[in-house]
Structure 1
């Protein structure tokens, strides 16, 4: 899958590296030359120095052939413009980082999907082709507010165990696991360790049960 990340700061750099590790072809567009050079020097991600809100720069990044264009700058207006231009150029999918929740209606009116949790973007892109009908239904329910996207930090002293032994609530799905600088897509055999951050989709009544299952209790 071909992905373009607009914005090469901490968020964009993290996403670019994570998506590259998942085996995707990744290009990062960064306006600042020093930031772009730093990212290029410390990763195997292709970096283009330029403004992702300009057509010629997106053309250089080959946005017309992109499966995903992800705009994650610190400015919502830049993310919106980059996504709109990318759609016009022919990108299959776009998604934007939302910095200010009050701007959500503008993105919705222009049909630009937004995500406020960075790691969820990795999950959406990495699994988009393989999403089953059940998972698509969960995404729809999430948008309606019937499900909750929850981050849980596994505390020190929690026994190491595989996901399959975690006694998760029946309507809960683990979508990503962060361990230091790495991102994992959890499966039954994936180990849950102290210090891991788990991203999960669950029902509102099951949130406390999920935290208990991960050893975090109800004080997170």
Structure 2
């Protein structure tokens, strides 16, 4: 994915390192020239010195090609302005770091898809929002060690037509992930699945999983390879 990140402080810096390790194309916009140079030297990220609220800087970052824009600077006013501009260029996924809750409504009006408070911000959550937008986390359990989430079974998914028992018996399916409910958009029925419940494409799955296993569960459900093993 092509991702533009504004700000490379403690949060932005860790995020950039993780995204680069995950093989994403990352562009950094940073007002501090020294931080620009140090991030480039450490990670090789394309680093642009300037403000993300400056149109010429956004053009240099090729914001119109971005899949995701993330504003992580320490200034809400700067983050808001940059988010508005990124939205105007057609960026579909906008993630912002919020320090002052008074800005929340403004961020939502600006089109931010995800607003993360500084007090409970986790970099892994930002990476998750970028890489797995199809998964909606409902709530966390046990101080974030587990989570309840939901996702749709995509067209041609290899789990379609398979029972819950068959799916969970596959070695590659995360053992710490459990089906807790299934909503069929076709029939309008909401069920608590048993082992013989058959999953169909278009079904909405509600699952509980260890937080570290959510990505693996999502990858498994979204796999469209024909072979089921």
Q: TM-score, normalised by structure 1?
A: 0.63
Structure 2 residue matching 1:151: 3-state secondary structure: coil
Would the aligned equivalents of 1:8 and 1:28 in 2 still touch at CA under 8 Å? yes
Aligned pair in 2 of structure 1 residues 126, 40: CA closer, same or farther (>3 Å)?
same
Q: Does 1:11 align with 2:11?
A: yes
Alpha-carbon RMSD? 2.7
Would the aligned equivalents of 1:30 and 1:36 in 2 still touch at CA under 8 Å? yes
Would the aligned equivalents of 1:12 and 1:28 in 2 still touch at CA under 8 Å? no
Equivalent residue runs for 1:96-115 within 5 Å: 96-113=96-113, 114-115=115-116
Structure 2 match to 1:38? 38
Would the aligned equivalents of 2:132 and 2:215 in 1 still touch at CA under 8 Å? no
What's the CA shift for 1:120? 1.2
What's the CA shift for 1:169? 9.0
Structure 2 residue matching 1:42: 3-state secondary structure: helix
What's the CA shift for 1:15? 1.0
Structure 2 match to 1:197? none
Q: Please list the CA deviations of residues 168-214 of structure 1 after superposition, one character each: whole Å capped at 9, or x if unmatched.
A: 7954234558xxxxxxx7537xxxxxxxxxxxxxxxxxxxxxxxxxx
Equivalent residue runs for 1:137-152 within 5 Å: 138-139=136-137, 142=138, 147-148=139-140, 150-152=143-145
Name structure 2 gaps, 5 residues minimum. Answer: 147-171, 181-206, 218-229
Structure 1 match to 2:25? 25
Aligned pair in 2 of structure 1 residues 46, 167: CA closer, same or farther (>3 Å)?
closer
What's the CA shift for 1:97? 0.9
Structure 2 residue matching 1:52: 3-state secondary structure: coil
Would the aligned equivalents of 1:3 and 1:24 in 2 still touch at CA under 8 Å? yes
Structure 2 match to 1:212? none
Structure 2 residue matching 1:35: 3-state secondary structure: helix
1:124 pairs, out of 120, 129, 136, with 129
Structure 2 residue matching 1:172: 3-state secondary structure: strand
Structure 2 match to 1:199? none
Structure 2 residue matching 1:94: 3-state secondary structure: strand
Name structure 1 gaps, 5 residues minimum. Answer: 154-161, 178-184, 189-220
Say which one has the larger Rg: 2
What's the CA shift for 1:11? 1.1
What's the CA shift for 1:2? 0.2
What's the CA shift for 1:92? 2.7
How many residues get paired? 160
Q: Distance in 1 between matches of 2:39 and 2:93?
A: 24
Q: Distance in 1 between matches of 2:129 and 2:177?
A: 25
Structure 1 match to 2:208? 172
